[in-house]
Structure 1
Amino acid sequence: MIFAAASLIAVPATLDLGWDEVVYVSQYGSHAPAAFMSAPRARGVTLLVWPVASWLDSTLALRLFLTATAAATLGLAFWVWSRLSRRPGIAALAAGLYASLWIALFYANAAMPNHYTAMAAVAAVGCFLLAASEPARPRAYLGLVAALAVAALMRPADAFWLGLPLLGATVAVQTFRRWRLAAAVLAGLAVGGAPWAVEAELRYGGLLERIRQAGHVQGGTSLQFSLGHVISTLDGPILCRPCDSPFRWPAALWWVALAVLVPLGVRAAHRAGTARTAWLPVVVAASMAFPYLFLIGYSAPRFLLPTYAVALVCAASGLAVLLSAAARRWRRLVAAAAAVGLAGHLAIQAGILHHVVSEQSRGRGDWTRVVQTLQSHGIRPPCVISGHEAIPVAYYARCRALEDRGYNRNVSTAQLREAAATGPFALLVKDAAPPDWVAGWQRVPVGGLTTSGLTLYLPRRPPRAPN
């Protein structure tokens, strides 16, 4: 409840849908034609929002629904760890630490997959450990399958990096060397990944071709060092592509805290004879961070939410150990230092969140001003929008978005020109020259924007003959 309330206070439930949200919500919504789903995207979020989006054209109702869903999954995922921890309250502390992150609060009411992938990862690792414990817990196997299926439904690539160390543990570690564990991991990944694989066969010419196209959309996946990109987004923006935003060091202080607390948690688990409950989350967290640190050349802070969520299970244990292990005469001093550190952490996270929400409110407000300009020039449904940020602008204008270039290419140039010749059409251009085939079109600058350089190009129609 606190997580939900904090999110709703910090992030208005009336905040317009963002670019990615528009893609997911439009698949079942009635507001506008369905936006193009590029190769990397999965259908998990579209299924999540379907109960609301298919019935109500209301951003407020959708965000309230998603806030409740995010809070429920947070409680369920960390509840699994309450069945594992010998220290009461550790799971709740881990959940609280996760809920304190600006990224978690910002995406709590968002139609985005990352929070749900993070909670699926937390639950999957916990259920894996419960299934491997003695006495055997059959329901843990079902929980493991369900958690991995959710992860694969939301983000198949993240699910791969989640399942890989779990499968590896069933081979390399004697305690986990059980065929049922391996079968549960494979079953969860297969169940959740099946829709993505089937769609690959039907729309992309096969699974390997879809994976190839997904890599292309992500700018190519090759070995590279992207830690600097990741650090530069710790305090926003929500996506850097290319990553040229300045880094402000206070945002990285909690990484320092993680670097201290996680080893403390692992050490405490070793001393308590429960080492596997510590090293397995660390290995999974590292595995899920690997592609974003070493395989892609851009970053978004939400990409590492699963890594943070799983790592915080160990960090919470480390914090508890730090507070309880201090000598009696130092305990008050340690507790006071921890309180000051926590207050500083919350202040930094709140400041970043306020800044990000303000930036997103202004940026999404620009789409509204573009739509108003379009409507004032007669661009109304059924209509087509192409060019810079065509997908969100088209959604709010209730038009179709068509692209003949870039990562969201869904038509040829010939098809785009035909659409321009047969109905209401607008091309959005920012800080660039328009293509040659729009020569002679009406040029319409858009005023009142928070950024400059955006221009609309509208076809010049011959006057209609009188009836």
Structure 2
Amino acid sequence: MLARPVPLLGLVALGYLVLQALLVPADMTLEWDEAVYTSQVAPGVPDAVFSAPRARGVTWLVAPIVQITTDPVAIRWWMMVLASAGLFLAFLPWTRLLTPKVLVLAAGLFATLWVSVWYGPQVMPNLYVAFGAVLAIGSLLAVRESPSAWGYAGLAAGFAGVAMLRPSDVLWLGVVAGPAALLWRRWAAAATILVAAALGSVPWVVEAYTSFGSLLQRWAAAGEVQGGIAPAPGFWYEFKAASGPAFCRPCDIPLDRPYLLIWWLALPALALVSARRHPVPLLAGFAMAAPYLFLVDYAAPRFLLPAYALLMIPAAATAARFRPPFAVLLAAYLVVQFTAFAGVKGQDYPLRQFQAAFVQKMIAAGVTRPCTLVGVSVNPAHQFLTGCEVRIVKPGESVAEAAEGIPGVVATLSQKTPPKGAEEWDRHVLASSNGKPTWITMIRPK
């Protein structure tokens, strides 16, 4: 039984679930982006501002569990199970295309990437874009060899899923998959790609007209949020952040421990060795990496998850041919990944829990619904935890002016000193260092 590819893939997916459960703290508070996505579907939680680049796909993935509870532990476990199921479904078409050894290597190496483990339990779209891309390319190759209803279903699901999660990413995936289908004269596959991508993009396009004025206006606004889409040294930034941090903007970090970054260069190099055998996943991986390497002026390792997943297939085909040094190389890879994971976890987890702790102090101080958080910028994670509405202070406006006419509890969060207009409000210290306040909340007197 264990020589069969499907059960082997199932074991890899189960191992991925175990890794997440063991390594990622289930009580980890939702961060900024997660809170934005989750708030859209969580009953009783005000919707955080949904900026132009975002799409609703991942909100629908988290929706079932938040109808029951918004407890982060439940959300983490739900997302862990979804991620493990996603890994299995993504590589399922490849069970007919790869040898069992290459299949297990490709899925296993991707599942043990620090980025894959860290983001498995999180409410973020990039991992699921990776799964959709692998499913789509695998289904396309399966349809090329032997057209079937299941093959077309996988192709449609992959492209529609990527479009619902990140519409811009589906364009780069289609740049490779569409011409490949036409080159092979698989007209039905080409039509499936076009229709599925279009249907998956419909919610984003409709929202562009209802909330942003037009599709072009939303596209322009999305570019502004990203800091402008223009030639940029994203390659260098992603390289520096390949083993952490989880977000690098501006990415002016030093090149500490460069030996932890070797894997990032080795992956495409190994993939190129098997270019003749696996040209489509190779080209698709490079295409999906391109905008983040050359057009984005900061780094987030999760952006490259789709590229990593696709490149793992030709890279695994190369690695499977290694003989004596294979075990040594695999051990080195795992050591590097888990070292990087420990570093990112050591940075992010304490920060998230620290913020959750001082938000609980805000609640204890009286910031309870109905309430409004006022500020130049308000962290959606704070909004999610308090359940408060948000009022953004406009340029030239004081906090007191922004709070005028707002019923219920009004509070503002700041570091060390009260913001302009809130000096006379009730002051509560949330965190301090060496006896001096580092975070305070000012609550409008009743």
* TM-score (structure 2 length as normaliser): 0.89
Partner of 2:387: 398
In structure 1, the partner of 2:47 is: 34
**1:154-199 superposed Cα distances (whole Å, 9 cap, x missing partner):** 111111211122123345x3xx233222211111111211111111
- Work out whether 1:184 is the aligned partner of 2:192: yes
Alignment check: 8 A CA contact 1:438 1:457 kept: no
Query: Take 2:405 and 2:230, find their aligned partners in 1: how far apart are those partners?
Result: 38
Tell me by how many angstroms 1:321 deviates.
2.3
**Letter aligned with residue 424 of structure 1:** V
Match of 1:120 in 2: 132
In structure 1, C-alpha distance between the alignment counterparts of 2:112 and 2:385, rounded to whole Å: 32
* Structure 1 residues 138 and 16: alpha-carbon distance in aligned structure 2, compared to 1, 3 A threshold: same
Determine which of 428, 439, 443 is the counterpart of 2:413: 428
> In the alignment, residue 242 of structure 2 is paired with which amino acid?
L
Q: 1:373 to 1:9 in 2, by over 3 A?
A: same
Choose which of 323, 332, 337 in structure 2 pairs with 1:344: 332
**C-alpha distance in structure 2 between counterparts of 1:220 and 1:389, whole Å:** 23
For residue 72 of structure 1, what is the aligned residue in structure 2? 85
Residues 220/442 of structure 1: CA separation in 2 closer, same or farther (3 Å cut): farther
The answer as to whether partners of 2:178 and 2:190 remain within 8 angstroms in 1 is yes
Any idea what SS the aligned residue of 1:15 has?
coil
> What is the correspondence of 1:333-412 to structure 2 with a 5 Å cutoff?
335=324, 337-387=325-375, 388-404=377-393
Structure 2 counterpart SS, 1:446: strand
The answer on whether the counterparts of 1:390 and 1:428 sit within 8 Å (CA) in structure 2 is no
Superposition pairs for residues 242-391 of structure 1, below 5 Å? 242-248=250-256, 249-267=258-276, 269=277, 278-323=278-323, 335=324, 337-387=325-375, 388-391=377-380
When residues 28 and 76 of structure 1 are mapped into structure 2, their CA distance, relative to the original with a 3 A threshold, is same
Tell me which amino acid in the other structure corresponds to 1:162. Answer: L
Taking structure 1 as reference, are residues 254 and 447 closer, same or farther at Cα in structure 2, changes over 3 Å only? same
**Structure-to-structure mapping, 1:208-227, within 5 angstroms:** 208-227=216-235
Contact persistence 1:369–1:448 (CA under 8 A): no
Distance 2:281 2:360 in 1: 49
- Measure the CA separation in 1 of the matches of 2:88 and 2:287: 24
| 1:110 and 2:94 matched | no
Q: CA deviation at 1:89?
A: 2.6
Aligned to 2:100: 88
Gap change, CA 1:69 and 1:263, over 3 Å in 2: same
Matched, 1:149 2:137: no
Q: Deviations over 1:339-385 (max 9, x none)?
A: 12211211121122122222222111222232234234322211112
Query: Secondary structure in 2 aligned to 1:256?
Result: helix
Decide whether the 8 Å contact of 2:32 with 2:379 is kept in 1: no
Larger-gyration structure (1/2): 1
Over 3 Å counting, the alpha-carbon distance change for 1:7 and 1:376 in structure 2 is closer
Name the amino acid aligned to 2:23. Answer: A
Query: In the alignment, residue 95 of structure 2 is paired with which amino acid?
Result: S
Q: Which runs of 5+ in 1 are unaligned?
A: 270-277, 324-334, 407-411
Q: Counterparts of 1:355 and 1:259 in 2: how far apart (Å)?
A: 24
Map of 2:7 onto structure 1: none
Mapped partners of 2:422, 2:227: distance in 1: 28
Q: Give the number of equivalent residue pairs.
A: 429
Call closer, same or farther: CA 1:81–1:432 in 2, change over 3 Å: farther
Query: How many Å separate the matches in 2 of 1:210 and 1:395?
Result: 25
Equivalent residue number for residue 58 of structure 2:
45
> Equivalent residue for 1:130?
142
TM-score w.r.t. length of structure 1: 0.85
Residues of 1 paired with 2:22 and 2:438: CA distance?
A: 33
| Residue-by-residue CA offset, 1:248-292 (whole Å, 9 max, x unaligned) | 31221112332442122225x2xxxxxxxx111111111111111
CA distance in 2, matches of 1:453, 1:298: 32
Verify the 8 A CA contact 1:366 1:449 in the aligned structure 2. Answer: no
Q: Which runs of 5+ in 2 are unaligned?
A: 1-13
Pairwise CA distance, 1:38 = 1.0
Q: Residues of 1 paired with 2:101 and 2:437: CA distance?
A: 53
Counterpart CA distance in 2 for 1:30 and 1:456 is: 29
| CA 109–88 in structure 1, closer or farther in 2 if over 3 Å, else same | same
Contact between 2:282 and 2:314, CA under 8 Å: does it hold in 1? Answer: yes
What RMSD over aligned residues (CA atoms) do the two structures have, in Å?
Answer: 2.6
Q: 1:94 to 1:221 in 2, by over 3 A?
A: same
Taking the aligned partners of 1:166 and 1:93, their CA distance within structure 2 comes to 24
| One-letter code aligned to 2:411 | A
Alpha-carbon spacing, 1:345–1:34, altered in 2? closer, same or farther (3 Å): same
Could you tell me which amino acid in structure 2 is paired with residue 287 of structure 1?
A
Q: CA deviation at 1:206?
A: 1.5
Q: Distance in 2 between matches of 1:227 and 1:151?
A: 23
Pairwise CA distance, 1:460: 4.8
Question: Measured at CA, do residues 257 and 365 of structure 1 come closer, stay the same or move farther in structure 2, by a change above 3 Å?
Answer: same
CA contact (8 A) 2:28 2:353 kept: no
Between the two proteins, what is the percent identity of the paired residues? 35
Of 19, 22, 28, 1:9 maps to 22
Structure 1 pair 57/282, CA: closer, same or farther in 2 (3 Å)?
A: same
Q: Displacement of 1:96 after TM fit?
A: 0.4
Tell me the secondary structure at the aligned position of residue 55 of structure 1.
coil
In 2 relative to 1, CA 363–179 (structure 1 residues): closer, same or farther, beyond 3 Å? same
Taking the aligned partners of 1:57 and 1:413, their CA distance within structure 2 comes to 33
Q: Which amino acid aligns with 1:375?
A: I
| Counterpart for residue 176 of structure 2 | 165
CA distance in 1, matches of 2:416, 2:318: 50
- Relative to structure 1, the CA distance from residue 35 to residue 298 in structure 2 (aligned partners, 3 Å threshold; closer, same or farther) is same
Q: Which residue of 2 aligns with 1:100?
A: 112
Aligned position for 1:332? none
Q: Is the 8 Å Cα contact of residues 413 and 442 (structure 2) preserved in structure 1? A: no
Cα distance between partner residues in 1 of 2:66 and 2:60: 10
